[in-house]
Structure 1
Amino acid sequence: MASNTEPDIRPDTENPDREGPEHTGEITNPDPKRWLALAVILSAAFMDLLDVTIVNVAIPSIQSQMKAGYSAIQWITAGYALAFAVVLITGGRLGDIYGRKRLFLIGMTGFTIASALCGFAATPGMLIGARVFQGGMAALMVPQVMAIIHVTFPANERGKVMGMFGGIVGSAAVAGPIVGGLLVQWNLAGLHWRPIFLVNLPVGIFGLIVAFRVISESRAPHATKLDLPGVGLSVVGLFMLVFPLMQGRDLDWPLWGWLMMAAAVPVLVGLVFYERAKGRRGASPLVELSLFQFRSFASGILTNLTFATTLGVFFLVWALYMQLGLGWTPLHAGLTGIPFSIGVSAAAGMSVQFLVPKFGRKVVQFGVLLMGGGLVLYIEMAKSLDLSFASWQMALPLLITGIGMGLVVAPIFDLILTDVPLRDAGSASGLLNTSQQLGQAFGIALTALVFFNMMGTHATKAVDDMKPDVTRALVAAGVPANQTDQIFAGFKQCTVDHAQEKDPSDTPASCRPQPGQDPKVGAVLQAQGAKAAQHTMVEGYETTLWFVAGGQFVVFLLMFFLPKNVRAKDARKGAEGTDADGAEDVAPVFAH
C-alpha cells in the first residue's frame, strides 16, 4: 500500500498545511499531533479492510434480496478489487504530486459517499457501480497511509507504528466476517445487508473532520507529472481482459468476448512499449519497467499474481458454500472463519520476526504447501461429512490453511523486494500491490469457469446420488413404484436447469408443477430440490478447492525463483539518511 515514490520528505510541523518547499532527510522535529493523525489514517485503513471482508459474508443476502445473478455477485466483489488495482499506482503518484493529505481527504470523502451509494442502491447495477467507485476512492486513500506514516514519524517510532498497523490488518480480518454476520442477521430497520455499507458513514465523517485538523501536508520533493496515456492504456487493457471473463457465462460466451480478451494482449503490450520509450526519454513512466531486470522482482510479480488469484476464487466460493450449501446464517458463517483469521495473524507475526531471518525462502514455500495441505484436508472432510459438516470440525483445516497463509503474506514482499534498490522501493511496492489486487479480481472472474460454469455438471451428479432417497420419499407420499422413475426424471431435469440458470432466483419451465399433481408429491419434490441445490453447491465447492490447492503447488514452484534469503538490510540503506529498506513501506493487503 505504499505510494510509488519513496516518501523521504520532512513535513513542516509548524505550518502543517503550508505548501512550500519540503526537505529530505530524517525527521528531527516530529509533529506533536502525529499520534492523532495515526489514529485517523489507521481507522481509514481498518474501514477499507473491514468493508472487503464484510461483503463476502453478505453476498448470499445481497443475491437473495436484490435478485442478483451470478455475474452480478462476481462484479460486486471483483469490481472493487479491479478498480482498486488499476487506480492504485495512480493514487500513489497523485499523492506525491498534489499532496498526500489532500489525496487522503479526497479518497476518504469519496469512499464515504460510495459507501452511502452502496447502502442505498436499488438495483444490482447500481450496487456494482457504487462498488467500482468505492474501489477507486480506496485506491486514492490507501496509498497515502504508508506515505503519511513515513513522513510523520521518526525512524525510532516506525517499528511501533508498523506493529500497530499489523494489528489493524489482523483485527479487520477477524472482525469483518463477525460484524458482517451480525449486521445482516440483525436486519436493522429491515435493511437486511445494507448496514454493512452504511456503518462506514459515521466513521468516515468523523475521520474527515479530525484528519483535516491533525494530518500535515506533504509531497515528494521531485514529483513528476502523471503519465495519463499510461493510465489509459492500463485501464483499457485490464478492462478488456476481465470484463468478458465476468460476463461470459451470462451471455453464453459470445464471440465478441473472446475477441475482446484477445485484443487486450496488444493493448497491454503497447503499454509496455510506451512505458519503455518514455523511460528512455528520461520522463517518468507510470510503470518502472527497469524493475523487471531483477529476476526476484519479475518472478515475484508472477508469484504474487498467481497466489492472489487462488485466494480470489477461494474467499467468494467459501462464503457461498457455508450459507447456500450448508444453509448457515451469515453470523454462523462469520464465526466459523475465526480459526482461519487467528492462524493468519499468529503465523504472520512469527514468520517475519523469527522464521524468515533464519530459514528464508523455505518459510514461504512451506506456507503454501501447508495451505494446500489444509485445503486437501478440508476437501476430504467435506466429502465425508457432506451437509453435516459442523463449524468445530472445520476448525482444524481452517487453522492449518490460515497458518500457511500467514507464513506467506507477511514476508513475501520483503523477499521479492530484496534486490530492488531503495530509490525504487516505492514504485516496486506499488506494482506488487497492484498485481495482488489484479490477482484477486482475476480469481473472482475465473470463478465463473471453475465454479458457476460447472453447476449443471455438479447438479447432475448430486441428483443421481440422491435417487434412492428421492424414490423412497415419493413412495412414502403414495406414488406407485412404477411411476417413480418418470417423476424422478422430471425432478432431475428441473434441478439441472435451475443450477444452470444465470439468475438463481428464476424458476425454469421444467420446475413448474404439473397439472393435477398431488400436493404431497409437490412437497416432496420441493424438499428434495432444496437438498439437491445444497449438494450441488457442496460439489462445486469441493471441485473449486482442488483448483485452489493446485494453485498453491504452482506458487510453490514459482517461489524457487525468489532469493533464498532476505539480503542484509543495512546494505540497502541509502545515503539519504533514511533507515527504511523499502519493505517498511510495503503493506500487503490480502484482505482485499
Structure 2
Amino acid sequence: MTSTPLQPEQTDRRRWFALAIVMTAAFMDLVDVTIVNIAIPSIQEGLGATFSSIQWITAGYALAFAAGLITGGRLGDIYGRKRLFLIGIGGFTLASALCGFAANSEMLVASRILQGATAALMVPQVLSIVHATFPAHERGKVFGLFGAVVGLGAVSGPLLGALLTEWNLFGLEWRPIFLINLPVGIAGLILGIRYISESKAPKALRLDLVGVALATLGLLMLIYPLTRGEELDWPLWGHLLMVGSLAVFAIFVRYEQYKVRKDGSPLVELSLFKVKSFAAGTAVQLTFGVALGIFFLVWTLYMQVGLGWSALRAGTTGIPFSIAVSVAAGISVQKLVPRFGRKVLQAGALTMVAGLLIYIWEADRYGMAIHSWQMALPLVVMGVGMGLIVAPLTEAVLSEVPRGHSGSASGLINTMQQTGNALGLGLVSVVFFFGVIDDGLAPSQMGMAFVDAFQNALWWAVGVLVIIFGLMFALPAHSRAAVEDGDGDDAEAQGSVALAKESALTP
C-alpha cells in the first residue's frame, strides 16, 4: 500500500534527472564550439596547421552539424529519441577523445567532422525528450532553464578554453579542451541509460536517404572550394564545384517535391517556404550565421595572432560580449518583443552594425596598441544587438507556420543557421586572408596586416547585417505568441525558441 504514493515522486525525480542529463549534453555541445575558437592559435602552433586546416577545424564541425540536424531529428522520431541521444552522446565523447589525441591537423579535422555529425544525432533529441517527459504546464520553467544554460555556456566556453590552454595541464597544451568532455560524456551516457524514458513519433516515418545525400553533397560543393580556394590559388575546379552546387540544390528541391507526392516523407517540408515569414526568417538565419561565422574566427585570429595576446587575455576580453548577449536576450523576450514586435529584431541588427563600426574605428585608431578595456564598448554594443535578435527570432519565424509543421520548421531553421555559420567560416579565406594576409610577410609586418584584415572582415559583416535588416521587414510585425495569450500547448514552437537560443550563440 505504501508504494502507491511513492510512485509519482519517483517519476518526478527521474524526469528531473533526465532533464539534467540532456541539458548537460546541450551545454557540452555549446561549450565545445566556443572553447575551440579561443584555442585555435595554440592548435595551429602545436600541429603546424595551415590556415585552411584551421578553417576546417571549425567549419568541418559546423558543416557536419548542419547537414545532420534534420536527419538526426528524423532518426530519433523513427527509432527512438533516447536511443539516438545515447548513440549521439557516446559518439560525441569518442570523437572528443580522437580530437584530444590527434597526431596531426588532418586527424583533428576528421575528428571534428565526426564530432559535428554525432552532435547532430544528440542535440535534436534534447528538446524532443523534454516534450515527451514534461507536461505542457511545466515546459515554460524548463525552457527558462535552457536560457540560463545558454548564457552560462556563452560565458564559460571562451574562459574555460583560455584557462585550459594557459594551464597546459600535464604538458598537453590545447588537448584538454577536448579531453574534458570524456568524464562528462561517459557520465551522461551511463545516467541516460537509467533515467531517460524512450519515446518515438506516433506516426511511422521514413528516412529520406537520397535527400540527405543531395543536401550534404550540395553543401560540400559550395563550402569546400571557399575554404581551400585562397590556399590553392582559386583553381578552375573550385569555381565549377560552386556553380555545380546550385544545380545539386535544384535537383534536391525537385526530389523533395517528388517525395511529397510519393510517400509524404521528404527530408525538408518545402511547403513551409510558401509562408512568407518563414521564408524570410530562414534567410535571416542563414545570413546571420554567415556574419557570426566570419566574426568569431577572425576576432580570435586578430587578438591572438595579430596582437600577440595570450589565450587567457583573449578569453577574458570576450566576457562583456557574452554577458551583454545574455542580459539583452532576457529583456527582449520578456519586455520588448511583446510591445514592439519586429522592431526589436531590426533594432538589434542596427545595434550590431553600430558595434562593428565602433570596433573598426578603434582598430584603425589604436592599431597594435589597443587594450582589452578599449574593446569592451564595441563588444557590449554588439552583444546587446545580438541578444535582441537571437532570443525572439525563431518565435517570429514560426509565428505563421502551421502547428503541425512546427517541429520540422524548427529543425530547418537551426540547419539554416548552422549552414550559414559553416559558409561564413569558409568565406574567412576570402574576406580576411585574400589580398591582405600573405605567408611571405615578415614577422614585423604580420601584426598590422592582421589589424587591416580584421577591419576588412568587419566591413563584410556590416554588409551582411544590413541585408539582414532588410530581410526582417518580411517578418510579421508582431508574432502570434506576442499577440495572443497562448495556452502553452504548442510545445514544438516553445522548444524551437530554446533551440534557437542555443544555436545562435554557437560561433
TM-score (norm 2): 0.95
Matched ranges for 1:179-190 at <5 A: 179-190=160-171
CA shift for structure 1 position 584: 3.2
1:565 to 478, 482, 485: 478
* Alignment gaps of 5+ in structure 2: 1-6
CA shift for structure 1 position 454: 2.2
- C-alpha distance in 1 between matches for 2:140 and 2:466: 34
Structure 2 partner of 1:251: 232
Matched, 1:137 2:79: no
- RMSD of Structure 2 on Structure 1 (CA): 2.0
- C-alpha distance in 2 between matches for 1:344 and 1:277: 42
> In 2 relative to 1, CA 287–399 (structure 1 residues): closer, same or farther, beyond 3 Å?
same
Structure 2 counterpart of 1:86, one-letter code: A
CA shift for structure 1 position 551: 1.3
Kept in 2, the 8 Å contact 1:30–1:154? The answer is no
- C-alpha distance in 1 between matches for 2:439 and 2:33: 32
CA shift for structure 1 position 396: 1.0
Moved over 4 A (4+): 568-574
Structure 2 partner of 1:169: 150
Kept in 1, the 8 Å contact 2:338–2:482? The answer is no
CA shift for structure 1 position 530: 3.1
Structure 1 partner of 2:4: none
Give the secondary-structure state (helix, strand or coil) at the position aligned to 2:504: coil
Kept in 2, the 8 Å contact 1:425–1:583? The answer is no
- C-alpha distance in 1 between matches for 2:368 and 2:483: 55
2:31 to 13, 36, 50: 50
CA shift for structure 1 position 581: 6.2
Kept in 2, the 8 Å contact 1:422–1:573? The answer is no
Give the secondary-structure state (helix, strand or coil) at the position aligned to 1:33: helix
CA shift for structure 1 position 408: 0.2
Structure 1 counterpart of 2:401, one-letter code: V
Structure 2 partner of 1:335: 316
Matched, 1:68 2:10: no
- C-alpha distance in 1 between matches for 2:486 and 2:469: 30
CA shift for structure 1 position 573: 7.0
CA shift for structure 1 position 326: 1.2
Structure 2 counterpart of 1:562, one-letter code: L
Matched ranges for 1:162-241 at <5 A: 162-241=143-222
Give the secondary-structure state (helix, strand or coil) at the position aligned to 1:161: helix
- C-alpha distance in 2 between matches for 1:184 and 1:169: 22
- C-alpha distance in 1 between matches for 2:49 and 2:243: 29
Structure having the higher Rg: 1
Kept in 1, the 8 Å contact 2:158–2:315? The answer is yes
Kept in 2, the 8 Å contact 1:111–1:134? The answer is yes
- C-alpha distance in 2 between matches for 1:570 and 1:405: 23
Matched, 1:294 2:275: yes
2:64 to 59, 83, 89: 83
Structure 1 partner of 2:18: 37
CA shift for structure 1 position 381: 1.0
Give the secondary-structure state (helix, strand or coil) at the position aligned to 2:435: helix
Kept in 2, the 8 Å contact 1:54–1:180? The answer is yes
CA shift for structure 1 position 563: 0.7
- C-alpha distance in 2 between matches for 1:69 and 1:437: 24
CA shift for structure 1 position 64: 0.7
* Alignment gaps of 5+ in structure 1: 1-15, 17-26, 457-495, 500-528
CA shift for structure 1 position 278: 1.4
Structure 2 partner of 1:522: none
- C-alpha distance in 2 between matches for 1:402 and 1:572: 30
Structure 2 partner of 1:313: 294
CA shift for structure 1 position 260: 1.2
> In 2 relative to 1, CA 75–497 (structure 1 residues): closer, same or farther, beyond 3 Å?
closer
- C-alpha distance in 2 between matches for 1:371 and 1:591: 14
Kept in 1, the 8 Å contact 2:272–2:401? The answer is yes
CA shift for structure 1 position 211: 0.8
Kept in 2, the 8 Å contact 1:421–1:572? The answer is no
CA shift for structure 1 position 241: 1.1
Identity value in percent: 57
CA shift for structure 1 position 262: 1.3
